[in-house]
Amino acid sequence: MPAWFLNLQVWRALGRWLVLLVRIDARRPASWLALLAAAGGLVAAAEAQAPAAVALGWWAGTLAVVAALGELPDDDQWSGMPPPPWLAGRLLWPLAGWGLGWGFSALARGENAWPAGAAVVAGIVAGGAAVRGALAWKARAADASSVALVLGGVATAGALAVPAATRSEWCLPAASLAWISAATISVAVAGSQSRLAPADRPTQRTGEEPPVLPVIGPLRRRLNSSAMVAALLGMVCWLFLDSTRAADFHAMTLAWFVSLAVPLATLGDGAMHTRAWRWLYSSSPVLFPPARSTAVMPRFWRPRLGSDSFSRVTVVSYAAILAWPALVAALILAGEPAVAWRAASTVLAVAAAALALVALGRAGARLGWSGDSTQAVALLGALVATLAEHGQWGRYLVAAVGR
């Protein structure tokens, strides 16, 4: 049998495999939300000028791919299929959104759409590589998503670091260099440690053996430490030393909150997270108050357990970690109303984001949404808020009406 015929058969089998995975993922709301995020993010980012177009495009691509991937099934889970085919199938959704957004932007703006379009596809590919790399280190589902979002935020900062007077061709290489540098440092740190993933992550379990409850492992602790160090340095450099950069501190704080709080509050440890709480509820007896009791004290002292409570605690914890430097700066700089208000606005923005995420998690739990769907809705909301804050939606609507 000739070699070319065998290659043709292999490619046909791979094509049927991808079609099957796309049909499966078409039932996930997260896939359609990722497609919408990639398309809408590109169209809105194309209205901006470099370096803002590259920064918004890369951030939109990262949010879209993380929303699309969600929790990739592992080798030891129910699928029986290794992660790479699932990764390839789910990457098609944000790439399809990128194609739709590119086509629309090209028709509306011509060649001016290319910086944002290139940044979106770069964010999609880089985000997918970051998630797959983190999973290769046996990271948890939420930790892998957080790593991808943090690296995407670093790339966004790299694009914004290019001076506005510089030619726009340097923005995308600067973002790529920032992402590669941060990823290299992350791999070096991972290689220097014996194990970056928590030691209690299970690999093979029997049906009778209960799964573990979610814990904060070494990777999540390093991400938390990096966020705290960044918040403190931002407070000193951008609020005390150079108050004209307060907007950068505001954007950095919200980016850290989205990167850390959203995946952990929605995914946890993925399917293992849900199964752990379900096992705990089924194994714990329920004590009902006596008939004559008013049930006020038993209801008050009832333990608050479950994934919903874990989600709320996660959101509040990250809001406190990231907002307190801005709150301290607002109190210290009370004599300078302009700077104090900029710091206070960061605290209010983090509080509003935390309340919105708690409400979304509560609504998702009541409606029976999966962690992937809740995360996709939260990331789409974060993208809309980012574009609205930078005025891109308003500019796009004005330009559309003008045409």
Output the six-digit token pair for 210: 């209960």
Alpha-carbon separation of residue 227 from 97, 103, 151, 203, 323 (angstroms): 31, 37, 12, 30, 11
* Whether residue 272 sits in one domain with residue 217: yes
> 132: how many CB neighbours lie within 10 A of its CB?
17
pLDDT of residue 167: 65
* Whether residue 255 sits in one domain with residue 330: yes
Q: Would you mind telling me the total number of residues written for the chain in this entry?
A: 403
DSSP-assigned letters across all residues of 197-258: S-TT--S---SSSPPPPP---HHHHHHHHHHHHHHHHHHIIIIII-GGGHHHHHHHHHHHHH
* Whether residue 186 sits in one domain with residue 47: yes
pLDDT of residue 13: 65
pLDDT of residue 66: 95
CA 137 to chain centre: 19
* Whether residue 317 sits in one domain with residue 267: yes
Q: Which amino acid is residue 64, in one-letter code?
A: A
Q: What is the DSSP letter of 284?
A: S
pLDDT of residue 176: 93
Per the CB < 8 A criterion, the answer to whether 141 and 270 are in contact is yes
Per the domain annotation, does 66 fall within a domain? yes
pLDDT of residue 80: 47
* Whether residue 136 sits in one domain with residue 249: no
* Whether residue 158 sits in one domain with residue 29: yes
Torsion 199-203-206-212 (CA) sign: positive
Per the domain annotation, does 358 fall within a domain? yes
Per the domain annotation, does 321 fall within a domain? yes
Per the CB < 8 A criterion, the answer to whether 86 and 73 are in contact is yes
Domain boundary among 195, 227, 262: 195
DSSP-assigned letters across all residues of 329-352: HHHHTTTSHHHHHHHHHHHHHHHH
* Whether residue 257 sits in one domain with residue 135: no
pLDDT of residue 122: 95
pLDDT of residue 400: 43
pTM: 0.82
The whole-angstrom separation of Cα 328 and Cα 209 is 47
Rg (CA), the chain: 23
* Whether residue 345 sits in one domain with residue 221: yes
Low pLDDT (below 50) residues in the chain: 76-80, 194, 196-213, 271-272, 276-277, 279-289, 291-305, 393-403
* Whether residue 235 sits in one domain with residue 119: no
Per the domain annotation, does 126 fall within a domain? yes
* Whether residue 222 sits in one domain with residue 191: no
pLDDT of residue 201: 45
Bond from prior residue into 298 cis (ω within 30 degrees of 0): no
Q: Is 100 exposed, middle or buried (0-12, 13-18, 19+ CB in 10 A)?
A: middle
Number of domains in the chain: 2
Per the CB < 8 A criterion, the answer to whether 364 and 262 are in contact is no
* Whether residue 363 sits in one domain with residue 274: yes
Per the CB < 8 A criterion, the answer to whether 41 and 64 are in contact is yes
* Whether residue 177 sits in one domain with residue 320: no
Per the domain annotation, does 78 fall within a domain? yes
Domain boundary among 165, 195, 225: 195
The whole-angstrom separation of Cα 143 and Cα 217 is 9
The whole-angstrom separation of Cα 176 and Cα 180 is 6
Per the domain annotation, does 139 fall within a domain? yes
Query: Structural domain of residue 338, as residue ranges?
Result: 211-279+303-369
Per the domain annotation, does 8 fall within a domain? no
pLDDT of residue 334: 83
